[in-house]
Structure 1
Amino acid sequence: MIVITIDQRRSRSGPDKVETLLRHLVEHYSTERGFERTAGDEIQGVLSDGAVAVALALDVAGTGEWSVGIGVGAVQTPMPAQTRAGRGPAFEHARVAVERAKSSSGSLALAGTGMEAERLEAELQLVALVNARRTESSAEAGMLVSQGLTQQQVATRLDISQQAVSARLSSGLWYEAGRLTELAGAALHRYSIYMEEG
């Protein structure tokens, strides 16, 4: 199973953003146990789909407002209805990960046992850094492509040439990061199943 713990960054100097994030997560991501506030400005949820977990983690970490910890492992069953009542190694790993995420690349960390956890963390941190370092114009073009528009449609929407769209996507490493994200999601899914089965 995959447990994600998310902690608001610089919460003492800004407003509480937890409720806004909780609404966003409910609207966009499916979970085994929904995200809920566990303490202060921290929330936690349980997922079984690696691809969804990766997309969610990168989405939230990419805002720059949250530290995201992914924990992988078994959970005690039957799982309680409320996330905060859950127990097991996945929850423990998520706690370790979110603490490390506060000073990690891309504000994201992953914890589990074995080298697979380290490899997955490195991949996700790399993607998070690529995402964070894109220019505004590259991010704009990439988001439109990710919504299903063709390069020609993006060019029309942005009133630029198709060559300019291609250049923006290339400079932002959109296809490369997207492929690595896809592979990391599949790998996380396999790893979580393996860890849960022991």
Structure 2
Amino acid sequence: MPSVIVLTVDQRGSRHSEDLIPDALERLAPLPTLLAFERTAGDELQGVLDDPDAVAAALGELLRADAWYVGIGVGPVEEPLPDHARAGRGPAYLQARAAVSGAKTSPWHVRVAADHWAGRALETTLWLWAAVLARRTARGWEVADLVAQGLSYAEAGNRLRISQSAVSQRAQAAGIVEARRAEELAAVLARTLLEEER
């Protein structure tokens, strides 16, 4: 059975807010997955990944929305793989289910279930990353999104019609460097977990 990372994600406060699943699926669709993200039931979605960089990118999208309980399970899944994520079985699915339940009472609504030191390290990284993103303003996101597209601070300033110095100040306040480092570390830890499980 191959080792993978299963993300089970449940919308917070879904009874009192709009359905966020369609937007989340659209944002997650470009990422390389073993089994694509899809709605599993009601206000929940699930995806199966074996690419550490895609895991980190998916987690970044979910943390940005600040609207989800995120459960991360690491381990094997039964083969042959089904056509849909919701039809899969195996220890990674069970861990992700336990993790999303635990996320409901955990800091920053994220839990990682993995029998390895890197699981706790990944969970800690995600909590710190979420704390950085939580303080980011709309202006900070403007700069962060432009920089993520590959623009320099000068180019971002031209686009926003502000000075390069103002862009730099917004970037610092938005924690752009810190968030980038968190994403890089999340990918490294995801890779460590996948390699350890194999």
TM exceeding 0.5 = yes
**Sequence identity, in percent?**
42
Partners of 2:149 and 2:103 in 1: CA distance: 29
1:8–1:74 CA distance, 2 compared to 1 (3 A): same
For 1:15 and 1:159, locate their aligned partners in 2 and report how far apart those are by CA, in whole Å: 34
Deviations 1:19-59 (A, max 9, x none): 33323322x21210112222221111100011111111221
Are the aligned partners of 1:154 and 1:165 in contact in 2 as well (CA < 8 Å)?
yes
CA RMSD of aligned residues (A): 1.6
Q: Is the 8 A contact 2:8 2:44 kept in 1?
A: yes
Of the candidates 145, 148, 165, which is equivalent to residue 147 of structure 2?
Answer: 145
Determine helix, strand or coil for the equivalent of 1:77. coil
**TM score, norm. by length of structure 2:** 0.90
In the superposition, the TM-score normalised over structure 1's length comes to 0.90
Task: Note the residue ranges of structure 1 that are not aligned, 5 or more in a row.
Answer: none
Match of 1:93 among 87, 92, 95: 95
Change (3 A) 1:21 1:139: closer
Which residue of structure 1 lines up, in the alignment, with residue 9 of structure 2?
6
Q: Which moved more, 1:101-110 or 1:86-95?
A: 101-110
**Unaligned runs of at least 5 residues, structure 2:** none
SS at match of 1:109: strand
Helix, strand or coil at the partner of 1:68: strand
Which whole-Å CA distance do the structure 1 matches of 2:163 and 2:26 have between them?
37
> 111, 115, 118: which is aligned to 1:116?
118
TM-fit CA distance, 1:164: 1.3
TM-fit CA distance, 1:193: 2.6
The superposition leaves residues 126-180 of structure 1 with CA deviations (integer Å, 9 ceiling, x where unpaired) of 1111011112222221211111111101111122211111111112221122022
